[in-house]
Structure formats: C-alpha cells, structure tokens
Structure 1
Amino acid sequence: MFWFPHGAPGWGWFAMSLGMLLFWVLLIAVGVLLFRTLNRGGGQSRAHGGTGRPTPEQVLAERFARGEIDEDEYRRRLDVLRQGSGWPGR
C-alpha cells in the first residue's frame, strides 16, 4: 500500500477482490471434489451392484427381516435366485 501515494488504484482493489473470490471458489471446488472422490469408495454402490438399486437377494433379505416372509419361504426363494431359474436374462 505504501508504493502508491494515495493507496492502491481502483483496478488494484478490483483485481484483489476477484483474485480472492476465485481463490475461495477453487478451494471449495477442490474440497467438494475430494469429498465426492473419497465418499465414492463406500460400500453402497458396490453392494447394490453399482446401479444404485438393491439386488434381488437384498430385497428378499429385507422382506425376511421385516417379517413379511418366513424362513422357509426365504430359503426357498433364495435358492431359486441363486440357481437363476425363473429370471429371464440370467
């Protein structure tokens, strides 16, 4: 500030303000990207087969946990799912 006789010129303040704004935007963007990258390695996308939807086995296990089906029906349906019969495209 002591280099100019009457303080920094108007464009100097504008450049400093713009530089500070860009610095914070860049810092926040790097933080968000880092968070998303580290959070992507979580088990949810892998557990759901990468599609964001639960697998048929997970849906069946949830129904069993809620008490909608009994153990015999759970095991019978799980065997059918693992054999692949009755599921087109498998």
Structure 2
Amino acid sequence: MDTVMYWNGGGWAWMAFMPLLWIVLIGLIVWAVVRLTQRHVGGDHGQDRGWPPRETPEEILDRRFASGEIDADAYTEARERLAAGKPRPR
C-alpha cells in the first residue's frame, strides 16, 4: 500500500523533469554570464550592442584639456605625439 501512495502522487514525473529543469537553469546562467561579459571586437566601438561608444585618444585629450586637467603645453605635446604615432615615453 505504501508503494501505491508514493507512485500515485506524481513523484516519478518530478524525478524525470528535475534534470531537465537543472540543465535549462544552468544553461540560462551560462548564457547570461557570457552575454554580460562579452567584449565587442570591431570598428564601431560597441554601438551595435547598445554600449556607449569608446572615446578616441584625441577625444580623451580634448576632454582633459577642456576640464583643466592638463595645461596647454602638455596638450600640444600630446597632440603632436598622437599625430606622429609615437608611444608615450615611460
């Protein structure tokens, strides 16, 4: 009689369904982590994914000069280096 009560409650259906549920749940978690941590490798600076565009070095330099972080001499020197394609000295 105990066996009839156990199988009559639908426990076997849950036992068959649970592995599928876990596979789907883990798959969703992996998909979400990959989607959130992906970095776009392309020339549009991430615009196709809704990310804000990345600033170019020239735009960063212009912003820093406009906000007063650097003076005119440092700005001019950095602009010349960027135009010449030389790396910054260490």
TM-score over 0.5 (shorter chain):
no
* Normalised-by-shorter TM-score class: 0.3 to 0.5
TM-score by length of 1: 0.45
